[in-house]
């Protein structure tokens, strides 16, 4: 093991509180001299807000250690000289505030929450039907909401627009291979020497293994439900109780 990717929601924290043992587990991985990157599909908070939230929980983390889909979307838009049409949560809008407008449009869809109105979806559909590019920040089916229950994530709405337009979105967050590889490249780690820890058997675990990571651990916290480990292919390398158990598993098998 030469590096570790960690999901955030459901692995390090749940709602507004750290998961028991999670902060200490991050410290243990750092003490073992394992570089870390926090790879999150959250599309409701801009990166500075994510970092501020983690600091408030007692997690010492740098902004450059967090990888979220909004940054990948910004890079794509600038590289392709597209103007964003945003269907996202208001909390994420600052990430796109300074981008050029008025050019060829690209629809950017994330977890817009209450902004997923018929009017907003239909406006996005019409732009896509006219040929706009189609970017999905993430395609997760569900997330664990503040009340402890699962809620619809961006994926069902991405799928609705795909069905209506007959087109496939370019997914920029997990399980995109490029997303995983960008985080690994940032810490100089090859996929075959890296581990991923997540609570989503599809986006976190199967996605990481398809990207070539040697190890992907599924934790029984966050959105995990019994049987998730058998629902998607490839299956997890191992299923552990939480991040603390995952850190122990990784450190014990780290190698010289």
- The structural domains of the chain, with segments of one domain joined by +, span 3-41+179-252, 80-171
Q: Are 76 and 108 in contact (CB under 8 A)?
A: no
What sign does the dihedral 183-213-168-79 (CA atoms) show? positive
Interval 2-54: pLDDT, tens? 999 999 999 999 988 999 999 999 999 999 999 999 999 999 999 999 999 99
Superfamily of the domain at 80-171: HAD superfamily/HAD-like (3.40.50.1000)
Q: Tell me which CATH code domain 3-41+179-252 carries.
A: 3.40.50.1000
What sign does the dihedral 200-203-90-36 (CA atoms) show? positive
Note if the bond before 234 is cis, omega within 30 degrees: yes
Does 3-41+179-252 match 80-171 in CATH topology?
Answer: yes
| pLDDT score at 122 | 98
Instruction: Report residues of the chain scoring pLDDT below 50.
Output: none
- How much is the pTM? 0.91
| pLDDT score at 144 | 87
Interval 102-116: pLDDT, tens? 889 999 999 999 999
User: CB-based contacts of 26: which residues, under 8 Å, 6+ apart?
Assistant: 6, 12, 36, 59, 243, 247
| pLDDT score at 147 | 86
């Amino acid at each position: 093991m030469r590096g570790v990717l960690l999901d955030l929601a459901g692995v390090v924290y749940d709602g507004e509180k750290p998961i028991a043992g999670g902060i200490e587990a991050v410290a243990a991985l750092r003490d073992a001299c394992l570089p870390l990157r926090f790879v999150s599909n959250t599309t409701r908070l801009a990166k500075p807000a994510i970092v501020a939230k983690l600091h408030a929980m007692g997690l010492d983390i740098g902004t450059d250690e967090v990888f979220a889909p909004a940054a990948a979307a910004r890079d794509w838009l600038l590289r392709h000289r597209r103007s964003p049409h945003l269907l996202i949560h208001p909390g994420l809008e600052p990430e796109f505030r300074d981008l050029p407008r008025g050019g060829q449009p690209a629809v950017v869809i994330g977890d817009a929450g209450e902004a997923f109105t018929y009017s907003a979806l239909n406006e996005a559909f019409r732009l896509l039907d006219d040929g706009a590019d189609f970017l999905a920040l993430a395609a997760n089916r569900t997330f664990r909401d503040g009340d402890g229950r699962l809620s619809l994530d961006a994926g069902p709405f991405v799928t609705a627009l795909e069905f209506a337009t007959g087109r496939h979105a370019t997914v920029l967050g997990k399980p995109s291979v490029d997303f995983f590889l960008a985080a690994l490249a940032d810490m100089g780690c090859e996929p075959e020497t890296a581990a991923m820890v997540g609570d989503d058997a599809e986006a976190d675990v199967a996605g990481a293994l398809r990207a070539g990571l040697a190890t992907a651990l599924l934790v029984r916290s966050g959105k995990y439900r019994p049987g998730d480990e058998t629902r998607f292919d490839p299956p997890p390398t191992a299923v552990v109780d939480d991040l603390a158990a995952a850190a122990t598993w990784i450190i014990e098998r780290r190698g010289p």
